[in-house]
Amino acid sequence: MGVGHSSVSLSLDPISIAAFTAEPKPKPSCFFNTHCKKSVFPTKKNSLFVGFSLKFESLNCGKVAGEMDTEKGIDVANKSILDFHGIDDRLIRKMEFDALVWSSLHGLVVGDRNFQRSGQVPGVGMVHAPIALLPMSFPKSHWKQACELAPIFNELIDRVSLDGKFLQDSLSRTKKVDAFTSRLLDIHSKMLEMNKKEEIRLALHRADYMLDEKTKLLLQIELNTISSSFPGLGCLVTELHRTLLNEYGEDLGLDSKRIPSNTAVGQFSEALAKAWTEYNNPRAVALVVVQTEERNMYDQHWLCTMLKERHNVRTVRKTLAEIDREGQLLPDGTLLVDGQAIAVIYFRAGYAPTDYPSESEWRARLLMEQSSAIKCPSISYHLAGSKKIQQELAKPNMLERFLENKEDIVKLRKCFAGLWSLDDLDIIRKAIDKPELFVMKPQREGGGNNIYGNDVKETLLQLQKEGSEEDAAYILMQRIFPTVSPTILMRDGICHKEHAISELGIYSAYLRNNEKVIMNDQCGYLMRTKIASSNEGGVAAGFAVLDSIYLT
Amino acid sequence: MGVGHSSVSLSLDPISIAAFTAEPKPKPSCFFNTHCKKSVFPTKKNSLFVGFSLKFESLNCGKVAGEMDTEKGIDVANKSILDFHGIDDRLIRKMEFDALVWSSLHGLVVGDRNFQRSGQVPGVGMVHAPIALLPMSFPKSHWKQACELAPIFNELIDRVSLDGKFLQDSLSRTKKVDAFTSRLLDIHSKMLEMNKKEEIRLALHRADYMLDEKTKLLLQIELNTISSSFPGLGCLVTELHRTLLNEYGEDLGLDSKRIPSNTAVGQFSEALAKAWTEYNNPRAVALVVVQTEERNMYDQHWLCTMLKERHNVRTVRKTLAEIDREGQLLPDGTLLVDGQAIAVIYFRAGYAPTDYPSESEWRARLLMEQSSAIKCPSISYHLAGSKKIQQELAKPNMLERFLENKEDIVKLRKCFAGLWSLDDLDIIRKAIDKPELFVMKPQREGGGNNIYGNDVKETLLQLQKEGSEEDAAYILMQRIFPTVSPTILMRDGICHKEHAISELGIYSAYLRNNEKVIMNDQCGYLMRTKIASSNEGGVAAGFAVLDSIYLT
């Protein structure tokens, strides 16, 4: 849900730390990229921060799609409240050492991309997660705003998910040009035909936002309804930063209490446990659907560990192919995997085309959807999080179709960036005229490959010339320009002083059983920070790290 | 103190997990070897378990040196109370996965020997520590016996350390043939000349024992008075095993409550903190003397983290070379390192000749010894833990020289294995006649390179022929034959079903300020378990793991 994205596309699909880990040589243009080899960042010369060294025009966040204002003049230099580059080198080295030790002892780790088995076997080839050494400043008012939005978005997604016709109609053009969405829609159609009802519905979302430097508006990048990553490691980064400020806060003039507490993993495990309870089969377990290789496995292990230790719910981890092999549907709808009844299915795979290399995986997805197990997410929730649906919901009067509360609608709309389909000729003209203010996003799920700068213009002109249905494969978004701050990032045991931009993710959980809403809460957060620099050759040399926030 | 060692020399100098981590290709004959490249295990064909497949004669643990009985018949097969090899494979796989995940999330990690920077930079190249999947059975009575001995040994070492003449005299012949001991004695002499008194004395010991299969006697292998390793990781293994038994204990017929709690790291940090308090300089810190490369750093980091978090005592880590460069002695005896006053010096280096590659390191050692900082250990404590002193103390009437309490003396002597110097002609004859019942241990510190089997005979005959002072370089020990048990060991993410032997280490802390004994406690434990097999080629294929105990 929510629309928009950033100037450097911090938007990413609902995963994954793989950028640091999966590629033998990480693509310089990736933020957190994924196993599906997508490139989230543009790779063209200077495309990362084009305009940042210049004065440029900016969109004033059309809250209603189609509205568009432009304003002049952004100078992002020297806007940081916390100038970490001014910190004494000796102090940095101390904090760096402490941060590395803390991360190692407290499980703030990922699989090392340089170690072959690190995505398959736990306990081998571990390296500290890429992290910011110190938290990123963030205005308290915007933080509160983001938190308040969480339950409203939860409710919206639930309502949208129940409107099967809306989902099918909105995605009908996308279906023709995107095979992945098409397969998801087929499963969705089957469920509609079967009149399959999901009485118990569980959502574990993460809504991603950026703060637009010029307008000071909190703008939503996307809402992840499947496989929201980093609830585990995100909490640990918060704890690490608090520990460092407890120790060095006086030297730095920073107060650890201004880092908000982060309970994402605890609340996610609570939501899963409550769903398990609603399912009401004490012998059933939770099924975690995983990729065949997962270097971000420890994030998942934290959640499962908490689920076991706090709530005594066991989990089993299976790939889609394994579920196809071992899965079985009982006449009463019970899903058995390897003979074990499944109460809750938690997807940490299945969001990208590459997760379905054969028919086997699609069979598994269908099997699960047909079962009585609680899916996190159901096929409807999954589709409701797609870009096209976000764009549809940004249309005038669309929110009113799903929500009654006027105040809630105003709050949601306030965080919508401009977002348009390519049948809006007026916007197409503006984008050809000022392509630096737009981003083209391919519709296809697990996508990335956003188009920036002059490529926007060229692609639009090409599509106009061809006159095919291909334009349905894209949406056009307002380009967001977040604040650039001096930061200290750590990867592979090495400290980097860089200028960086950040994206705030707000976790939320939603659980209902028929008319009874059991849980509808904001659940902690994740800050991700990415280098905002490009080298002389024009190739973005950036990488992204896990971060927390310091309220200002 | 205490003497003896095992048939496979589980005795090791006071370190270190380096066996798993330091060598590009670990020597198949190492248990925990060290950076000094020593080989703790014999490499000769079949030397690891010669006699284990046969009936053989065994020593009856001469409690007083020179006494020696032999008894017939040991069959170690099928003696294990917990037959882990009978566990269902599916259950093993589950526990294996859980153990690997648990280790990764809870900092039960070491540096991976295959990763270049893993001994230098924290947070990179981590791998789970080598561990036993389940605890090793151990008789409760022997466990109690070992715990009771801890404060008595603490007191004994303290008394011995105060008798400078005894230390110098006992080691006078060793001095001639061992350069390392000679340098330590030189520093010790200087302190005697200066009439330097250590009023505040801190010991963090680990006494290592094996249970002799035939005699059912708990026999001491050695007492480490410097750099006792694994207080941190040892506690974690205990916690891991308890967690596994809480989950799977019912399936296994095992009760997690029978694994004794392990508070080694907490009590060691408490002892260090109390010593820091006694030093009474609030601005001073604790100095951890470290090796230039240390793949067992996380064990040390746990201790320092606890010291900081529980007691608010900061630590700095320095190599001996760095201390030489940055160290300075103030007229009042205060040691400054890099301008920082040092209250307590905790050695995790300096125990082996290889730790002193140049004069620089010896200067650092002397500088520290001259200072008023509390040394853990002082040069006297260090020397009091040497093999020669252990052998001297095993002589008749020697304990009576240092201790008054008759019961304490009886308790100590009961755990002494047979131990003799090479001027005992009667024993030499017996050893030449039945070399399989003895082990020759080189005197030199940081040693290893024990001699077993027929090599004992040959070496003794050679020494007799030469008639040089070289015999002072060795002591002769009773060979201990511990129980062999079926176990499941894990290394590099891979499970191994093996037969193994174990060595129990009992940690203890001792702190006194003049006449006031502030702490004299047993402090948790460490079980180490080692594969008891050799391959067809006769090269020991064993490796060792961290373990805990299951009281029977």
Residue B510: predicted pLDDT? 98
Pairing of strands B340-347, B374-376: parallel
Residue A240: predicted pLDDT? 98
Residue range B281-298, pLDDT digits in tens: 999 999 999 999 999 999
What pairs with residue A222 in β-bridges? A208
pLDDT cut 90: percent of chain B above it: 72
A505 vs A407: CA distance, rounded Å: 22
Q: According to the annotation, is A480 in a ligand binding site?
A: yes
Q: How far is B34 from chain A, CA to nearest CA, in Å?
A: 22
A505 vs A347: CA distance, rounded Å: 19
Q: Which of A124, A308, A493 is the closest to B124 by Cβ?
A: A493
Residue A445: predicted pLDDT? 52
Q: According to the annotation, is A522 in a ligand binding site?
A: no
A396 vs A350: CA distance, rounded Å: 32
Residues of A in contact with B112 (CB under 8 A): 124-125
Instruction: Kindly report the average pLDDT of chain A as a whole number.
Output: 84
Q: According to the annotation, is A377 in a ligand binding site?
A: no
Residue range B43-95, pLDDT digits in tens: 222 222 222 222 222 333 223 323 333 333 333 333 334 789 889 999 999 99
Q: According to the annotation, is A548 in a ligand binding site?
A: no
Residue A64 pLDDT > 60: no
**DSSP classification of residue A348:** S
Helix (H, G, I), strand (E, B) or coil at B33: coil
Residue B21: predicted pLDDT? 29
Task: Identify which of B446, B416, B506, B547 has the alpha carbon closest to the alpha carbon of residue B204.
Answer: B506
Banded model confidence at residue A256, pLDDT cuts 50, 70, 90: very high
| CA dist B444 → A102, A150, A489, B184, B188 (Å) | 38, 68, 47, 12, 17
Residues of B in contact with A128 (CB under 8 A): 122-124
Residue B230: predicted pLDDT? 97
Residues of B in contact with A308 (CB under 8 A): 247
Binding site listing of B for substrate: 206, 226-229, 294-296, 300, 348-351, 528, 539-540
Q: Which one of A93, A95, A96, A101 makes the best mutation probe of the B interface by having the most chain B beta carbons within 10 Å?
A: A101
Answer whether A302 sits within 8 Å of B492, measured CB to CB.
no
Q: Which of B107, B112, B493 is the closest to A104 by Cβ?
A: B107
Answer whether B124 sits within 8 Å of A302, measured CB to CB.
no
- Rg over alpha carbons for chain B, rounded to the nearest Å, is 22
pTM, whole model, 2 decimals? 0.86
Q: According to the annotation, is A397 in a ligand binding site?
A: no
- CB-side neighbour CA atoms (13 Å) of B376: 31
Q: How far is B259 from chain A, CA to nearest CA, in Å?
A: 19
Residue range B471-519, pLDDT digits in tens: 888 888 899 999 999 999 999 999 999 999 999 999 999 999 999 999 9
Q: Which one of B93, B96, B101 makes the best mutation probe of the A interface by having the most chain A beta carbons within 10 Å?
A: B101
As a whole number, mean pLDDT of residues A416-429 equals 90
Banded model confidence at residue A83, pLDDT cuts 50, 70, 90: confident
Residue B452: predicted pLDDT? 85
Q: How far is B281 from chain A, CA to nearest CA, in Å?
A: 19
A-B CB pairs within 8 A amount to 85
Residue B336 pLDDT > 50: yes
Give the B-side interface with A, CB within 8 Å. 97, 100-107, 109, 112, 115, 117, 121-128, 247, 298, 301-302, 305, 308, 492-493
Q: How far is B120 from chain A, CA to nearest CA, in Å?
A: 10
Q: Which one of B100, B108, B112, B126 makes the best mutation probe of the A interface by having the most chain A beta carbons within 10 Å?
A: B126
Q: Which of A100, A117, A298 is the closest to B123 by Cβ?
A: A100
- A248 vs A55, higher pLDDT: A248
Helices A264-279 and A297-311, packing angle to 10 deg? 60
Active site residues of B: 206, 222, 224, 229, 387, 441, 445-446, 528
Banded model confidence at residue B443, pLDDT cuts 50, 70, 90: confident
Q: According to the annotation, is A479 in a ligand binding site?
A: yes
* Beta carbons within 8 Å of A311's beta carbon, 6+ residues apart: A269, A270, A272, A273, A276
Please, where are the H alpha helices in B106-162? 140-162
Answer whether A493 sits within 8 Å of B302, measured CB to CB.
no
Q: According to the annotation, is A434 in a ligand binding site?
A: no
Residues of A in contact with B308 (CB under 8 A): 247
Kindly identify which residue of chain A lies nearest to residue B305, measuring between CA atoms.
Answer: A102
Q: How far is A155 from chain B, CA to nearest CA, in Å?
A: 34
Residue A508: predicted pLDDT? 98
Instruction: Kindly report the average pLDDT of chain B as a whole number.
Output: 84
Banded model confidence at residue A78, pLDDT cuts 50, 70, 90: very low
Evaluated on CA atoms B482, B484, B490, B492, the torsion sign reads: positive
Rounded (5°) CA angle B188-B189-B192? 90
Least confident of A308-317, B145-154, B329-338, B452-461: B452-461
**DSSP classification of residue A354:** G
Helix (H, G, I), strand (E, B) or coil at B499: strand
A417 vs A207: CA distance, rounded Å: 14
Q: According to the annotation, is A55 in a ligand binding site?
A: no
Q: Which of B97, B105, B121 is the closest to A100 by Cβ?
A: B121
Residue range B94-122, pLDDT digits in tens: 999 999 999 999 999 999 999 999 999 99
Q: Where are the beta strands (DSSP E) in B149-294?
A: 200-211, 218-224, 285-289
Phi, psi of B174 (to 5 degrees): -60, -40
As a whole number, mean pLDDT of residues A431-438 equals 93
Residue A442: predicted pLDDT? 81
Task: Identify which of A294, A287, A292, A296 has the alpha carbon closest to the alpha carbon of residue A356.
Answer: A292
What pairs with residue B200 in β-bridges? B513
Active site residues of A: 206, 222, 224, 229, 387, 441, 445-446, 528
Answer whether B124 sits within 8 Å of A127, measured CB to CB.
yes
Task: Identify which of A352, A406, A24 has the alpha carbon closest to the alpha carbon of residue A178.
Answer: A352
Q: How far is A491 from chain B, CA to nearest CA, in Å?
A: 9
Residues of A in contact with B305 (CB under 8 A): 101-102, 105
Residues of A in contact with B128 (CB under 8 A): 122-124
Phi, psi of B353 (to 5 degrees): -55, -35
Least confident of A3-17, B127-141, B158-172: A3-17
Q: Is the peptide bond before B377 cis (omega within 30 degrees of 0)?
A: yes
Residues of A in contact with B100 (CB under 8 A): 121-124
Answer whether A126 sits within 8 Å of B104, measured CB to CB.
yes
As a whole number, mean pLDDT of residues B427-440 equals 92
Answer whether A104 sits within 8 Å of B115, measured CB to CB.
no
